[in-house]
Structure 1
Amino acid sequence: MNKLEQLKTMTTVVADTGNIESIRRFQPTDATTNPTLLLQAAQLESYQEILKKSVQHAIKENLPGESFLQSATDYFTVQVGKEISQIIPGRVSTEVDARLSFDTQATVEKAKRFIELYNNHGVSSDRILIKIASTWEGIQAAAELERNGINCNLTLLFSFSQAVACAEAGVTLISPFVGRIYDWYQKKSPNIKILPKEDPGVKSVQEIYRYYKENSYPTIVMGASFRTTGQIEELAGCDYLTISPDLLEALENDNAPLTRQLFPNIELTPENSTPKLNENLFRWQMNEDAMATDKLAEGIRNFAVNQQQLENIIKQLASQK
């Protein structure tokens, strides 16, 4: 077996792409999307018909300005997710507008809107994970959504504190970002080569995974944002890993043995318990973690820019009607 086939025997492989052809080729269980991937999809020829339908849908609703853009982008987001759901056996992660990252109630309402749209187009709620940035407000929104039967994927997760808060909130899945943590440390020390075994992003996911298993949290750990296959290999055995098409291809082309690194059968030890997080403690711990604070803010800003760029494409299409 090649390394991708070996990985699938110990970890649920998720495609980190909105590209239908890539998903068909690599046959992942689940797929994740985000504003960056949706923007890329909107520029592909294969998605132009869906984009036009999204604009037509919003025009029919006869909504003004910002409401028109939200309606069209929501429709496009769900239509892309629906297309993906018809190819994979598992779930599609659909991300809430990053500009809502600090508004709990608006995040809840947007998530419910996505679920309503999916249901209206024949996709059941259990096929969808609502993707939300791991701010305090986002985690509280996820807690409310989970209580109401809407499963969530907490993204832009860079710190142990975020992971603990997500577990305590009862979220379905978290996406700790390996590559972006690596980027931050590599930028600080550009002359030092960071090997996969010493990679701070890899170590972060390993720590979170072990803590969850030691404390019997059911929340799924899905390592994300990889830069190299070496990072992926160091997390073989993690619950889920979401991987870009280029790295899926690299794993597929490698026939060397793949050794499992993470195992779920870990017993609880007293020293691995941590105090329950309240808002003040969460914010303080994030404040003390410069990397997590920087990368969370940067990720939200970048996703917001991508969302606006997608809206600009929709504006241009609408102006031609």
Structure 2
Amino acid sequence: MNQLEQLKKYTKIVIDSGDIENIEKYTPYDATTNPSLVLKAIQMQKYQYLLQESINYAKKKGGKKNKIVTNATDRIIVSIGAEILKKIPGVVSSEVDSRLSFNTEKSIKKAKKLISMYEQEFGLNRSRILIKLAATWECIQAAKELEKENIHCNLTLLFSFAQARACAESQVFLISPFVGRISDWYNINYSSSQYQSSLDPGVQSVKKIYKYYKKYSYKTIIMGASFRNIKQVLSLSGCDCLTISPELLSVLQSKDTLIQKKLIIPNKICSTPIHTLSHSDFLWLHNQDPMAVEKLSQGIRQFGTDQYLLEEIVIKNM
């Protein structure tokens, strides 16, 4: 058994890609996309037909230029998701425009629009879609409301324990802690002796969340994300889910060294804490973590930039 096959015994494997051919190659259960991956995919020659189909769709819907561009980009996101769902048995994550990350109402509206497109245009049930939202307070509240309509969400760009706790308390369906980006920050800002390089900060963050969620029987699924190397991946064997890039999946497939399950549900389960975070509690605790503040802000900006670039491609091809 190679390491990927072994890992699948302990953890649900999710591919982090917008490239449909890669998804077929590694046979994951689920798949995730984000604006960066969608941007990369839509620039490939083999997916140009999806770009043109989306533009034609938006033009038929009509409206002013801005509306046509928005409808086309939304259609691209859904089209890629629909193609991916032909290749996997599980769910695909599709991301809401990160520029809406601080507006609960608009995030809800965009999520419902994407779900409607999946259902009405492609005949896909909402049970196979996860709506990705940045783990801001506003989007956590949006996810809480969307869950009431059976729209499950994946809260991404998660860096702080405050974000993880707020998601669990709001009964968010799934969270994506960003292992690699956390470690990147510590590597840049501290020497290895200051944070003990043997204890990878990104890995330790997910382990803390896992222990807390399982201790209090929270149902929110933990999906480790944004890995930089195989050591990080294997250190979280046993996590509910891991979303892994095609490059690292290839490495796992090429090795057959025995791996062990690292994350184990604790025997002692406690009742859920009575105190839940208020908005001000959340902001205070999140802002005590300079890494989380910087990386959340940076991630939202980057995804926003990629959304702009996707719109520019649409405009250029209209």
TM range (shorter): over 0.9
SS in 2 for 1:31: strand
Task: State the match for 2:223 in structure 1.
Answer: 222
TM superposition score normalised by structure 1 = 0.96
Provide, for residues 68-119 of structure 1, a one-character-per-residue CA deviation record: whole Å limited to 9, x for no partner.
1110000110000000001000000000000000000000000000110000
**Relative to 1, partners in 2 of residues 1:173 and 1:191: Cα closer, same or farther, differing over 3 Å?**
closer
- The whole-number CA distance in structure 2 between the counterparts of 1:53 and 1:123 is 18
Deviation at 1:194, TM superposition (A): 7.8
Task: State the match for 2:62 in structure 1.
Answer: 62
Identity %: 49
Task: State the match for 1:307 in structure 2.
Answer: 307
Instruction: Answer whether contact 2:73 2:310 (CA < 8 A) is retained.
Output: yes
Task: State the match for 1:237 in structure 2.
Answer: 238
Unmatched runs of 5 consecutive residues or more in structure 1: none
Provide, for residues 198-257 of structure 1, a one-character-per-residue CA deviation record: whole Å limited to 9, x for no partner.
011000000001110000011100000000000001000000000000000011111100
**Relative to 1, partners in 2 of residues 1:191 and 1:210: Cα closer, same or farther, differing over 3 Å?**
closer
SS in 2 for 1:114: helix
* Aligned-pair Cα RMSD in Å: 1.6
| Partner amino acid, structure 1, of 2:206 | V
Instruction: Answer whether contact 2:211 2:266 (CA < 8 A) is retained.
Output: no
Q: How many residues align?
A: 317
Alignment of 1:74-93 (within 5 A): 74-93=74-93
Task: State the match for 2:99 in structure 1.
Answer: 99
Task: State the match for 1:208 in structure 2.
Answer: 209
Provide, for residues 107-155 of structure 1, a one-character-per-residue CA deviation record: whole Å limited to 9, x for no partner.
0000000110000111110000000000000000000001111000000
**Relative to 1, partners in 2 of residues 1:63 and 1:192: Cα closer, same or farther, differing over 3 Å?**
farther
TM superposition score normalised by structure 2 = 0.97
Task: State the match for 2:17 in structure 1.
Answer: 17
Alignment of 1:143-292 (within 5 A): 143-189=144-190, 197-268=198-269, 273=273, 275-292=275-292
Alignment of 1:4-43 (within 5 A): 4-43=4-43
Unmatched runs of 5 consecutive residues or more in structure 2: none
> Greater CA deviation, 173-182 or 64-73?
64-73
- The whole-number CA distance in structure 1 between the counterparts of 2:202 and 2:274 is 21
SS in 1 for 2:287: helix
Q: Does 1:51 align with 2:45?
A: no
> Greater CA deviation, 258-267 or 178-187?
258-267
Alignment of 1:131-150 (within 5 A): 131-150=132-151
> Greater CA deviation, 223-232 or 57-66?
57-66
- The whole-number CA distance in structure 1 between the counterparts of 2:49 and 2:33 is 19
Deviation at 1:264, TM superposition (A): 2.4
- The whole-number CA distance in structure 1 between the counterparts of 2:2 and 2:193 is 31
| Partner amino acid, structure 2, of 1:226 | F
